[in-house]
Amino acid sequence: MTMTRPLLLATALLTACALHAQKVDPRHTNFYRVPAPVENEVIRIEFKDPVAQLAMCKVRVELTNKTSDILIIKASEIVFTVGGATYSPKDRDFVIRPNDRINRTLEITGGNMHHDAFSVKFGGANRLSRSEGALKVPDFDVPPSKNSFTAGNFEVNLVNMDKETAKTALKFKVVYRGSKVALVDPSRTALRIESGQEFANASSKSKEVILQQGEDDAFTVYGEIPGKIVDMQFANMKLVWNDAFREVTPKPFKIGTVDFTIDPGLTEGKNR
């Protein structure tokens, strides 16, 4: 019994010393080697500046859409594995338009992110075809006989109208009630005057609205017609929707997992 207590005391002291030695300066930063880009026929992902401190781990990514589809990656299904625990970024979903690229920072926070390695698994990746699911929507009177209408799972309301001699702007709010993904592309619309002549949407900056169930957004349709043809302030016109409204079933695709390992030399040099 007389030897047991000193041994226990010594063990406790050694453990306390070891724990003290393992404490990490919260400002100390681990720098990691930049892995090769991930690429397939759908997407290319490049990585920049992977770093970690005690309370956070982050990496910048550049995502390039190689297709004519819209790509969506759910942030909640991007999974970091750090020290045996898993985390997901608290971020909005990534939307990458056709043949476009975006830059984002993936960041997680927690109690101990300061490890020599971590991995990132890209889940929740889907393609949205822009050539399927078109919905036939009746023409809209301009000026309107009524401001709102329902077409399939879409609820649409005219919230503002600006009519001048040679141009008209119609702003709508749309709510999607379906269970797929909705696309609304104002660039596909046209204005038809009483003679039957049609004029395509005038704004090249019009972008598709992307909505999931219960979401809403606004979009604007722009029309321009020379005054010598018709004075738009007084004209009776029809807004022709064509195939501006679509309901699309997301098609999953795989990206995979990327591993990050510490760069000892860079870490030592940067922390001096």
For range 192-202, the mean pLDDT: 94
Within a domain: 95 = yes
Token pair of 196, please? 């039957």
What's the confidence (pLDDT) of residue 19? 42
For range 189-217, the mean pLDDT: 91
Shared domain for 82 and 158, answered yes or no, is no
Shared domain for 89 and 158, answered yes or no, is no
Shared domain for 147 and 217, answered yes or no, is yes
Q: Report whether pLDDT(14) > 70.
A: no
Q: In total, how many domains does the chain have? A: 2
Within a domain: 174 = yes
Q: Report whether pLDDT(16) > 80.
A: no
Shared domain for 164 and 230, answered yes or no, is yes
Token pair of 24, please? 């990490």
pLDDT > 70 in the chain, percent = 91
Token pair of 267, please? 């870490």
Q: Are 201 and 193 in contact (CB under 8 A)?
A: no
- C-alpha 183/C-alpha 206 separation (Å) is 13
First-residue to last-residue Cα distance in the chain? 49
Shared domain for 155 and 242, answered yes or no, is yes
Mean confidence (pLDDT) of the chain = 92
What's the confidence (pLDDT) of residue 7? 54
Q: What is the pLDDT of residues 40-96, one digit of tens each?
A: 999 999 999 999 999 999 999 999 999 999 999 999 999 999 999 999 999 999 999
User: Between 14 and 71, where is the model more confident?
Assistant: 71
Q: Report whether pLDDT(6) > 90.
A: no
Within a domain: 224 = yes
Shared domain for 161 and 206, answered yes or no, is yes
Within a domain: 33 = yes
What's the confidence (pLDDT) of residue 21? 42
- C-alpha 127/C-alpha 71 separation (Å) is 5
Q: Which residues have C-beta within 8 Å of that of residue 266, sequence separation ≥ 6?
A: 31
Shared domain for 110 and 156, answered yes or no, is no
Q: Which residue, among 235, 233, 203, has the nearest Cα to 221 in the 3D structure?
A: 203
For range 134-162, the mean pLDDT: 97
Q: Report whether pLDDT(123) > 50.
A: yes
pTM: 0.84
Q: Report whether pLDDT(10) > 90.
A: no
Within a domain: 115 = yes
Shared domain for 168 and 188, answered yes or no, is yes
For range 154-168, the mean pLDDT: 96
Q: Are 98 and 187 in contact (CB under 8 A)?
A: no
Q: Which domain holds residue 35?
A: 25-123+255-270
Shared domain for 182 and 86, answered yes or no, is no
Within a domain: 83 = yes
What's the confidence (pLDDT) of residue 25? 87
Q: Which residue, among 184, 168, 175, 183, has the nearest Cα to 148 in the 3D structure?
A: 175
For 25, the 3-state DSSP assignment is coil
Q: How confident is the model at residue 17 (pLDDT cuts 50, 70, 90)?
A: very low
Shared domain for 148 and 227, answered yes or no, is yes
Give the ranges where 75-224 is alpha helix by DSSP (H). none
Within a domain: 1 = no
**What DSSP character marks residue 262?**
B
Shared domain for 61 and 118, answered yes or no, is yes
Within a domain: 109 = yes
Shared domain for 168 and 230, answered yes or no, is yes
CATH number for position 67: 2.60.40.1240
Beta bridge partners of 10: none
What region does 85 belong to: left with phi over 0, alpha with psi -120 to 50, or beta? beta
